Amino acid sequence: MNILITGGAGFVGSQVGHYLEGRGHTVYLFDNMSYGHVDNLSVNGQSIGEFIKGDVREYCDHLLREKEIEAVLHFAGVAPLLIVSQTPITLLIIMSQAPPVS
């Protein structure tokens, strides 16, 4: 199965990607790197899936078609509590804009 993981360079997204890839799925880690880390994109020196830099607030329908995505796991978000408390609308926009799979 082709799986898109938003927030894929975060701890949770990358670990889920590693788990799914180990079970034979094709994994695409999608992250804008605002809070993600390059170190999370590999485990024991081996890359996890394919990394795609992008933002869930931008239209990514072409990516869903191009990679023939069958499932989306939405882990993108704003991590620092201070930012969330100062601009809660930003968090709501990010969390509500997971790409739809048609």
Asked if 13 and 29 count as a contact pair (C-beta separation under 8 A), the reply is: yes
More confident: 91 or 76: 76
pLDDT higher for 102 or 91? Answer: 91
Residue 84 domain flag? yes
Task: Examine residue 66 and state whether it is found in any structural domain, yes or no.
Answer: yes
Q: Provide the whole-model pTM.
A: 0.79
CATH number of the domain within which 17 lies: 3.40.50.720
Q: Is the pLDDT of residue 84 over 70?
A: no
| Residue 102: inside a domain | no
pLDDT of 4 over the 70 cut = yes
Amino acid (one-letter) located at 42 = S
Report the number of distinct structural domains present in the chain: 1
Mean confidence (pLDDT) of the chain: 84
Average pLDDT over residues 63-78: 89
Which domain does 26 fall in, by range?
A: 2-96
In a domain, 74, yes or no: yes
pLDDT (0 to 100) of residue 88:
66
Q: Determine the pLDDT at residue 57.
A: 75
pLDDT digits (tens, 9 = 90+) for 34-61: 889 999 999 889 999 999 998 887 767 7
Give the pLDDT confidence of 6-26 residue by residue, as tens digits: 999 999 999 999 999 999 999
Establish if 101 belongs to a structural domain. Answer: no
